[in-house]
Structure 1
Amino acid sequence: MEEVSRMDEICTVQCVHADVVEQVKTQLPDEALLLKLAELYKAMGDPTRIRIISALTQSEMCVCDLANLLDMTQSAISHQLRVLRQTHLVAYRKVGKVVYYSLDDDHIKMLYEQGLVHVSHAHQ
């Protein structure tokens, strides 16, 4: 296998393609939107929260169900669900004394599934 040096990964000559830079600059989302996106990915960046999202792609579940499935305490699951709620990754509904959690919308399932596809290809 050919080894790539760090110098192979950077330009060896100073050259700015001003036309490309200007075109891309006009297409970039504003900083506030990019910050929200970073927060979304940060929330998804925790293995426990990804496991919760994975479970919720299959069915809505209550905290007790998730705790049992993931072999964790209800308190630990509740903490992770709070983070996921704050970033609008999950939603909940209360039925009597039971609170059911689900993915906030189909975009979340798509993000999760596309991430799985990406990492699956990266390992091949």
Structure 2
Amino acid sequence: MELTQSDQVEKIICPVARTVQLIGGKWTILIIRDLTSGVKRFHQLERSLQGISPKTLSERLRTLEEEGIIVRQTFAEVPPRVEYSLTAKGCDLVSVINSMRDYGEQWLCNK
């Protein structure tokens, strides 16, 4: 039986390692970054994350939803409308993203 990402994260004891396991995948932190400004639809995220495949975006969104970082809301319209937003658990990652932005601006982007 294969362990899900959630099961794998639960087996890690170090809180830093657990956080990296959760948000360290390619595109994941950028999806969270984009959702910090509010609710987004799939195509908005896809446009913002130039180079991400629809399959990868779907997988990352599904994982973030399973982990309780984002919530997916579906509207019964034609065509169907789906929106993604951060949960309280996801909003708590904003300070991590802001720290990464500050570090990048200070040490990486102004050279």
- Scaled to the shorter chain, the TM-score interval is 0.5 to 0.7
Would the aligned equivalents of 2:12 and 2:18 in 1 still touch at CA under 8 Å?
A: no
Query: Where does the alignment leave 5 or more consecutive residues of structure 1 unmatched?
Result: 1-30
Structure number, greater radius of gyration: 1
Code of the aligned partner of 1:103: L
Q: Among residues 78, 101, 105, which one is paired with 1:116 in the alignment? A: 101
C-alpha distance after superposition, 1:63-94 (max 9, x if no partner): 12211221333222111112222222222212
2:42 is matched with 63
Report the TM-score, using the length of structure 1 for normalisation. 0.58
1:28 is matched with none
In the TM superposition, residue 52 of structure 1 has moved relative to its aligned partner by 0.8
Distance 1:94 1:86 in 2: 16
Distance 2:96 2:41 in 1: 22
2:54 is matched with 74
In the TM superposition, residue 122 of structure 1 has moved relative to its aligned partner by 4.8
Distance 1:101 1:43 in 2: 18
Would the aligned equivalents of 1:103 and 1:109 in 2 still touch at CA under 8 Å?
A: no
Query: Where does the alignment leave 5 or more consecutive residues of structure 2 unmatched?
Result: 1-9
Q: 1:107 aligned to 2:110?
A: no
- The 5-angstrom pairing of residues 35-74 of structure 1 reads 38-71=17-50, 72-74=52-54
Code of the aligned partner of 1:93: Q
SS of the residue 2:27 aligns to: helix
Distance 1:36 1:45 in 2: 13
Same amino acid, percent of matched pairs? 19
Would the aligned equivalents of 2:73 and 2:84 in 1 still touch at CA under 8 Å?
A: yes
Provide the aligned C-alpha RMSD in A: 2.7
- In structure 2, do the counterparts of structure 1 residues 39 and 63 end up closer, same or farther at CA, with 3 Å as the change threshold? farther
- Name the structure with the higher helix share: 1
- Equivalent residues, number: 94
In the TM superposition, residue 107 of structure 1 has moved relative to its aligned partner by 0.8
